[in-house]
Structure 1
Amino acid sequence: MSGKAEPRAAGERTTRARLDRGRGALGPALELVHTGRAPTRAVLTAELGVTRATAGAVAAELEALGLIRVDVRPAAAAGSQGRPSHRLDVAEDGPVALAAQVHADGFRAALVGLGGRIVATAPGCQTVEADPAKVLGSVVEAGVELLRDTGRRCVGAGLAVPSAVAEPDGLALNPLHLAWAVGAPVRRIFAECVRAAGITGPAFAGNDVNLAALAEHRHGAGRGARDLLCVATGHRGVGGALVLDGRLHTGSSGLALEVGHLTVNPEGRPCHCGGRGCLDVEADPLALLVEAGREPGPEVSLLQQANDLLLNQYGDPAVRRAAEALIDRLGLGLAGLVNILNPDRIILGGLHRTLLGADPSRLRAVVADRSLWGQSGGVPILPCTLDHNSLVGAAELAWQPVLDDPLGALR
């Protein structure tokens, strides 16, 4: 009897070991499909370093969880030989994350699926009250309406705010362009609103530019970069973020890369931080409007007014001079960051993306001239490519537990 029992026990152990290996690969496999780095089962097999059978079992498990779709009969490319590998893609009807963003000119809610795909958005509100609980309650209510309308399962919620978010308590330390109290516990308030709305899953909060950088690194202009620097100006102020080896570098307490307070014009405007001539007040939408001699209006956001000015009136000498002044200041700040951080790619968002498009050679020349790395060929400077990248990044926070452990997070 022992002669028969031992082989059966050994077979069971082998099967168990294969299952364990496959389950351990679920998270890495899902992240590969989520970021578009494994479009086929053959690529997934190679990236995971497992057998075809294990990769097939992993893909099947992720499909059973409703996270991906496996096309077992993909069409062969023209001129190709042999049977094409099974195609992998995120499930278009799969679960979603609730993403929320608050900025100086309003707030917006969205549902974001795997792959960074925005499934639905709620019309943005144009006013932000001084009480963060009211604002976050309203944006969560908008998200609940979207969930009700779409019938999607929600894995969690993420919030992007225009402030450094201190860890581990999730405090908004410098909501300078909102009327919120310094140190507002935005993560706790947001989590309470999410729970009160009946949404299951964890709730997170982070700085809007950090989250934009994370989204661009996974799904946009930063994909494939190892050390990615993102600098952006949205409705007010300037922010920065750094992604190292696929992870946000937030420092010891979440406050790294406050690039808005680099001095680029010592005789410039007073800054909210107490300094003078910081990027925050020298290279944002308000700075462009003032530099061009335009009076900001209340009809639309400052960002839209500044973008419209560059796109529609760049031939005006006053507008061109203002743009050149901002480009030079931005280039000086970027050059200093390049000298310190040595990134392999820079991406620009918001108004800075428009400035890059207006005169790319001028900005790249300033950075190359003022940075050590410029003397050895320069660092690529590219525009961000995702619409609503801070919203997509907020959703990435909520998706991360699922990427880490799909079975544990969903079951």
Structure 2
Amino acid sequence: MNGKATTTKARLERGRSALGPALELVHTGRAPTRAVLTAELGVTRATAGAVAAELEALGLIRVDSRPGAAAGSQGRPSHRLSVDGAGPVVLAAQVHADGFRAALVGLGGRTVATAPGCVTVSADPAQVLGEVVEAGAVLLRASGRRCVGAGLAVPSAVAEPEGTALNPLHLAWPAGAPVRDIFAEQVRAAGIHGPAFTGNDVNLAALAEHRHGAGRGAQHLLCVATGHRGVGGALVLDGRLHTGSSGLALEVGHLTVNPEGRACHCGSRGCLDVEADPLAFLTAAGREPGPEVSLLQQSTDLLRREYDDQAVRNAGEELIDRLGLGLAGLVNILNPDRIILGGLHRELLDADPERLRAVVADRSLWGRSGGVPILACTLDHNSLVGAAELAWQPVLDDPLGALA
């Protein structure tokens, strides 16, 4: 092989190895132009151009044919890069205590179509996941889009490598239900192509927020959230979820924040899971939960509309203090550089941000030396977007191999 051919082959290999990193940069909005892509990848302009062209040929991104420069900038104008809005999608699904939601999600975390299913969740996971996948299949048929995978978010710790839901307490599913296998089987039966993945809903919310929302730019991101029932936590380290040795890390809901408090499902007492979720808030406010809408929606409406009511304010402050105590303990152990809060906890932060930050600062070693930023999650349906991230990951790792 002559020298020129060798050089060409080496350039092609470098370009192909850069396809995944390049796609992730565009996917997460960190490479809005080809010039930025060149700098981030540490390659030549020619290689970056070839990489962008390859990703465009795969139908994953778009390269603006007319380069432009931002107002006031200097130097050569650069081609703008964006995800292809007409490109492939993944099927994303979330199951929670009050129903499910299915969606088609493109690159960039963009929801293309969604189908809520507010139903009573059956104790049979196969029945529920069959309904979820069918709702997604209807969306796919209507869209005519290519599907490259599927992801599912569930309100339970998911053990790896088995893919079993160990404690789906609020779904009445049997402990240890093989949800990943069931989901994958339903996906195949519906004729949907691509691999299927399953993960814990708060883990996936954290992943979505890190890539597309309030967690962007954080190196060590702690996410704590309460949805319809219970409290979950997640940690993202250098862009990757920290799930522990078997997928069970960050079960923050079982931190004790009130030793004399309510009995918890885990067998302990006064856990964050039962002391700082929507049911705890409604109970503390003296409100009887109704069947009309979810507990989360009832709690959110109460906080937003009646926080001036003394009973509601007292209940809010009580939960803020419990939540702050739990967060302070996590700060001492994990030393995150950012905390984001979701679900009812986001609403509590909005209602009284100074109180929550003061509790965390007062109770944590590192809080007193400057504090950890505490922010609200910003994505709608972030667990659903996170489920999509699971499904997109093989494409982000190896675009050519995944789409072949």
Task: Kindly indicate whether residue 133 of structure 2 is the aligned counterpart of residue 140 of structure 1.
Answer: yes
Deviations 1:206-239 (A, max 9, x none): 0000000000000000000000000000000000
- Of 372, 376, 381, 1:379 maps to 372
Q: Is the 8 A contact 2:89 2:145 kept in 1?
A: yes
Q: Which residue of 2 aligns with 1:339?
A: 332
SS of residue matched to 1:252: coil
Consecutive unaligned residues in structure 1, runs of 5 or more: 1-5
Partner letter of residue 379 of structure 1? V
For 1:79 and 1:25, locate their aligned partners in 2 and report how far apart those are by CA, in whole Å: 31
% identity of equivalent residues:
86
Q: Is the aligned partner of 1:311 residue 2:304?
A: yes
After the TM superposition, which residues 17-166 of structure 1 pair with which residues of structure 2 at under 5 Å, given as runs?
Answer: 17-166=10-159
From 339, 358, 361, the equivalent of 2:354 is 361
Report the alpha carbon displacement of residue 82 of structure 1 after superposing the two structures with TM: 4.4
Answering whether residue 177 of structure 2 is matched by residue 184 of structure 1, we say yes
Asked if structure 1 preserves the Cα contact closer than 8 Å seen for 2:68 and 2:80, the reply is no
Structure 2 unaligned residues grouped into runs of 5+: none
Q: Deviations over 1:233-280 (max 9, x none)?
A: 000000000001110000000000000000000010100000100000
- SS state of the match for residue 172, structure 2? coil
Report the Cα distance in structure 2 between the residues aligned to 1:349 and 1:80, rounded to whole angstroms. 38
Q: Answer with 1 or 2: which has the greater Rg.
A: 1
Equivalent residue for 2:314, pick from 296, 302, 321: 321
Report the 3-state secondary structure (helix = DSSP H, G, I; strand = E; otherwise coil) of the residue aligned with 1:198: coil
> How many Å apart are 1:83 and its aligned residue?
4.0
Task: For residues 262-321 of structure 1, give each alpha carbon's deviation from its aligned partner in whole angstroms, at most 9, with x where no partner exists.
Answer: 000001010000010000000000000000000000000000000000000000000000
State the alpha-carbon separation in 2 of the partners of residues 274 and 77 from structure 1: 59
When normalised by structure 2's length, the TM-score is 0.99
Give the residue type in structure 2 aligned to 1:385.
Answer: T
Q: Give distance in 1, aligned partners of 2:214 and 2:385.
A: 14
SS of the residue aligned with 2:300?
helix
TM-score, with normalisation over the residues of structure 1? 0.97
Q: What is the number of equivalent residue pairs in this alignment?
A: 404
Task: Give the equivalent residue in structure 2 for 1:3.
Answer: none
Q: Does 1:225 align with 2:218?
A: yes
Structure 1 position 292 matched with structure 2 position 285: yes
- Out of 329, 342, 347, the residue aligned to residue 349 of structure 1 is 342
Query: Counterpart of 1:357 in structure 2: which amino acid?
Result: D
Q: Deviations over 1:75-113 (max 9, x none)?
A: 443334444210000000000010000000100100110
Matches within 5 A, 1:245-256: 245-256=238-249
Following superposition, the deviation at residue 10 of structure 1 comes to 1.6
**Match of residue 198 from structure 2:** 205
**How far, CA to CA, are the matches of 1:109 and 1:320 in structure 2?**
35
Report the secondary structure of 1:119's partner residue.
strand
Following the alignment from structure 2 to structure 1, what is the Cα–Cα distance between the partners of residues 32 and 336?
A: 28
Q: Please tell me whether the aligned partners of residues 68 and 78 of structure 2 are also in contact (alpha carbons under 8 angstroms).
A: no
- In the alignment, structure 1 residue 15 sits paired with structure 2 residue 15: no
Counterpart residue identity of residue 54, structure 1: T
Q: Which whole-Å CA distance do the structure 2 matches of 1:126 and 1:322 have between them?
A: 29
The code of the aligned residue for 2:293 comes to: V
1:280 match: 273
Letter in structure 2 aligned against 1:67: L
Cα deviations across residues 103-156 of structure 1 (Å, max 9, x unaligned)?
001001001100011111013232200100000000000000111111110010
TM-superposed deviation, 1:179: 1.0
Q: How many Å separate the matches in 2 of 1:227 and 1:347? A: 11
Q: Distance in 1 between matches of 2:235 and 2:75?
A: 43
- Aligned equivalent of 2:363: 370
Write out the 4+ residue segments of structure 1 that deviate beyond 4 Å after TM superposition.
none
SS at match of 2:117: coil
Give the SS at the match of 1:115: helix
